[in-house]
Amino acid sequence: MRISWLSAEEIAAARAALTADGATWDSHFVPEFTLPPQPADSMILDWAGTLEHVARAERVSQVVRELGLDEARRRFGAAPAAIEAATLAAAAHEGDALGLPEVLGVLERPIDNYVFYAPFLELAISLGKRDLDRTIPAYEQFVTAYAYALDRVPHGAERIGAVKDGLADFYVSAGRTERAEALFEQRHDEDQGDVAVALSASRAFLAAGVVSHAVRWLGVGAARASALGREEPSPEAAGEARVRAQAPQLSDRGVASATGEAWTLTVVVGVACGSTMARPSESAARCRATSARAWCLLRTCWVPCSTTTTSTTSMWPPSRARWPQLRCGSA
């Protein structure tokens, strides 16, 4: 598991400096961290921050290797540094001994700009599904602290945007639709030069089966692409042109869900508002002939009538010879 933004070369240089002249990891903590001199030819810009980050991670790793995880937890479980908590959590994860409290402990400590937080955010989501009242506030507090810490760090804006996008996705999967919409709107306003946020929002809502929101965000992306003078996002660019989901999950705003079989959500374009089609092949022909965008379920077409687009090829599942009639209506 990757836990640091530092490169292999930076870590190797820091290790060499920290162990020069027979020094050990612990010898640099007396009890506060003491810094070895920086060689004249060193390419490390943040000497103090980089070496302390590496030293704290290495001394935890050494105890895990030599004395075991339990002893490392006893010694460093209350340590204030995020990299020490991250190293312990990574070791616990490797030994299938990781729980939600230890993951949240990484996120709750003061932000370390060199810690790679992505795997711990993913673990918080996967381990915290049954304790959302605890996990969501912890994620929110982390995002706030992370944004404050990286506000003026080089490339900090991109990293802040990434964790905000992750929180918005988490809101969707946790059923916090209003919060997700608000955060995606904020991110879309912040990222004026791209359609990535709109496509991410559409993909997240698709995966959760919230069809109308997915449709709306694809339309938002199309409008942004048009304003930027780009071609509108194709189904492939949207990330997942076909998403398998159970029919009850796709019952958003009156989508028929009479059967329990898996349905396929498919992006097609150009279906006239209010039209009715008998077969997918016919719908594809009408898609190419008209100018509105439709999201077609096997039984329902969602048509945001205000959105125009260029035509594209429809992708229908070929496994059935006959299909039920499709109904089209506004999303």
Range with the poorest average pLDDT among 17-21, 84-88, 254-258: 254-258
Mean predicted confidence (pLDDT) in 40-54: 93
Task: Supply the pLDDT for residue 273.
Answer: 33
The percent of residues in the chain predicted with pLDDT above 90, rounded, is 61
Please compute the mean of the pLDDT values over residues 214-225 and round it to a whole number: 93
Bridging pattern class, strands 293-296 and 300-302? antiparallel
Long-range contacts of 84-89 (CB under 8 A, 24+ apart): 84/56, 84/57, 84/60, 85/109, 86/3, 86/57, 86/115, 86/120, 87/3, 87/56, 87/57, 87/60, 87/61, 88/60, 88/64, 89/120, 89/123
201 and 184 in contact (C-beta within 8 Å)? Answer: yes
Res 11 pLDDT > 70:
yes
β 242-246/300-302 pair status: unpaired
Residues 181 and 226: their CA atoms lie apart, in Å, by 22
Here the tokens at position 165 are 């996008």
Contact of 274 with 328, CB cutoff 8 Å: yes
Give, in order, the Cα–Cα distances in Å from 282 to each of 235, 278, 305: 19, 7, 20
User: Rounded to a whole number, what is the largest CA-CA distance in the chain?
Assistant: 81
Q: What are the structure tokens assigned to 241, written together?
A: 């042109």
DSSP, collapsed to helix, strand or coil, labels residue 95 as coil
Of 89, 100, 165, 162, give the one whose Cα is nearest residue 126: 100
Q: What tokens does 243 get?
A: 């998403």
* C-alpha to C-alpha distance for 133 and 176, rounded to whole angstroms: 12
Provide mean pLDDT across the span 170-184: 96
Given a cut of 80, is residue 25 above it in pLDDT? yes
The model's confidence at residue 274, banded by pLDDT at 50, 70 and 90, is very low
pLDDT tens digit string along 117-150?
A: 999 999 999 999 999 999 999 999 999 999 999 9
Q: 103 vs 39, 87, 126, 164, 217, CA distance in Å?
A: 36, 11, 11, 18, 32
pLDDT at residue 240, rounded to an integer = 36
User: What is the CA 267 to chain-centroid distance, rounded?
Assistant: 23
More confident residue, 29 or 243: 29
Q: Compute the distance between CA of residue 48 and CA of residue 46 in angstroms, rounded to an integer.
A: 6
Q: Distance of CA 63 to CAs 13, 21, 38, 69, Å? A: 21, 21, 26, 8
Average pLDDT score over the chain: 76
